[in-house]
Amino acid sequence: MTLLEARGLQRHFGGIPAVDGVDLTLRAGEIHALIGPNGAGKTTLVSLLSGRITPQAGRILFAGEDITALPAHRRVAKGIAYTFQITSIYPRLTVFDNVALALRDSRDLPRAVGAALARTGLQALAGETAGELSYGHQRLLELTMGLALKPRLLILDEPTQGLANEDIAGFKALVRSLVPETTVLLIEHNMEVVMDLADRITVLNFGRSLASGTPAEVRANADVQAAYLGGDDAEA
With respect to residue 39, please indicate whether it lies within any of the assigned structural domains.
yes
Residues 185-211: what's their mean pLDDT? Answer: 95
Looking at the structure of the chain, the number of domains it has is 1
Element holding 61 (H helix, E strand): strand 57-62
Query: In this predicted structure, what is the pLDDT of residue 232?
Result: 43
- What tens digit of pLDDT does each residue of 70-90 get? 999 999 999 999 986 556 799
Read off the CATH number of the domain in which 199 is found: 3.40.50.300
Residue type, 83: T
Instruction: Say how far apart CA 146 and CA 137 lie, in whole Å.
Output: 14
With respect to residue 69, please indicate whether it lies within any of the assigned structural domains.
yes
Q: Average pLDDT over the chain, rounded to whole? A: 91
With respect to residue 11, please indicate whether it lies within any of the assigned structural domains.
yes
With respect to residue 147, please indicate whether it lies within any of the assigned structural domains.
yes
pTM: 0.90
Query: In this predicted structure, what is the pLDDT of residue 233?
Result: 41
Least confidently predicted of 93-107, 112-126, 176-190 = 93-107
Asked if the model's pLDDT at residue 234 lies above 50, the reply is: no
Query: In this predicted structure, what is the pLDDT of residue 165?
Result: 87
Under the banding of pLDDT at 50, 70 and 90, the label for residue 236 is very low
With respect to residue 236, please indicate whether it lies within any of the assigned structural domains.
no
With respect to residue 235, please indicate whether it lies within any of the assigned structural domains.
no
With respect to residue 83, please indicate whether it lies within any of the assigned structural domains.
yes
Residues 204-213: what's their mean pLDDT? Answer: 94
Domain span at residue 142? 2-229
Under the banding of pLDDT at 50, 70 and 90, the label for residue 235 is very low
Q: What is the DSSP string of 119-158?
A: HHT-GGGTTSBGGGS-HHHHHHHHHHHHHTT--SEEEEES
Instruction: Say how far apart CA 2 and CA 28 lie, in whole Å.
Output: 6
With respect to residue 47, please indicate whether it lies within any of the assigned structural domains.
yes
CA 150 to chain CA centroid, nearest Å: 14
More confident residue, 57 or 39: 57
Query: In this predicted structure, what is the pLDDT of residue 228?
Result: 78
- What tens digit of pLDDT does each residue of 134-155 get? 988 998 999 999 999 899 999 9
